[in-house]
Amino acid sequence: MTTAVSYLRTSSKTNLDGDSAPRQRQAIEEYAQRNGIAVVKEFYDEAVKGADPVDARPGFQDLLDYLAGNGARVILVENVSRFSRDLIVQETGHKLLQNLGYELVPVDAPSHFTDDTPTAAMVRQILGAVAEFEKAQLVAKLRGARDRKSRALGRRVEGKHGYRVSSPELIREAKRLARKSPKTGKARSLREIAAELAQMGHTTANGQPFSASQVQRLMEAG
């Protein structure tokens, strides 16, 4: 039987005592029963706006932490708007989940994210163009900064090539901490890994612990 987790969201505190959460839960449970899916855990973001990025939501961060150490790969939501009401956030959030190997299913329209509709294609193309533009801008800024520093030092200064080159021990520790315990068979959550890395002195450039999505990328680094 396929296993999945469910994700619920209400956008304001006034919804907390209303019908929103029970309605979402019922729709997900009915879909799961019809399709032979076992919902193993529920995650709920209370009073979280639909335009908020998914990786900035506490409940969704907990969901990602759970999936990283669990066999479930499917996320069920009542409809697309429960995931996000913002089209850009929908597409970027879905892309994040795709890259992590997870499937997002709105139970009222299960093929929404797999249909190649003109709107979805347009948004993906726009996002791709924006990402390419931003990357080109960043590369140009970094190149200019290196050129200025090189002139000041009288020697060529080259840029960093990511943690894989600049901090291979960080990659090794992240992957070590992600392994399941030989005694219990359980794995640490992404947040637990980030906390332990911080205790070892491995933090972001701002001195903060890595986010769950950053830890996931560290573990996937070659």
> Could you tell me how many residues make up the chain?
222
Which residue type, as a one-letter code, is found at position 76? L
- Give residue 11's pLDDT: 83
Q: pLDDT tens-digit profile of 34-87? A: 999 999 999 999 989 888 888 889 999 999 999 988 889 999 999 988 998 887
Rounded to whole angstroms, the Cα distance separating 92 from 95 reads 5
**Residue 78 near residue 107 (C-beta atoms within 8 A):** yes
How confident is residue 131, by pLDDT bands cut at 50, 70 and 90? low
Least confident of 124-133, 134-143, 201-210: 124-133
What average pLDDT does the segment 116-134 reach? 71
* Angle, CA of 128, 50 and 133, to the nearest 5°: 20
Q: 129-143: b or e for each residue (b if 16 or more CB lie within 10 Å)?
A: eeeeeeeeeeeeeee
User: Could you tell me the fold of the domain covering 2-106?
Assistant: Rossmann fold (3.40.50)
Please name the residues in contact with 35: beta carbons below 8 A apart, sequence gap of 6 or more: 2
Q: CA–CA separation, 91 vs 142, rounded Å?
A: 28
Residue 64: predicted pLDDT: 92
What is the C-alpha separation between 158 and 146, in angstroms, rounded? Answer: 7
- pLDDT tens digits, residue range 57-72? 999 999 999 998 888 9
Band of residue 217 on the pLDDT scale cut at 50, 70, 90: confident
Task: Tell me how far apart the alpha carbons of residues 43 and 59 are, in angstroms, rounded to a whole number.
Answer: 6
What is the residue extent of each domain of the chain? Answer: 2-106, 119-155, 160-222
The pTM for the full model equals: 0.58
Question: Exposed, middle or buried, 196 (CB in 10 Å: 0-12/13-18/19+)?
Answer: middle
Is residue 121 predicted with pLDDT exceeding 80? Answer: no
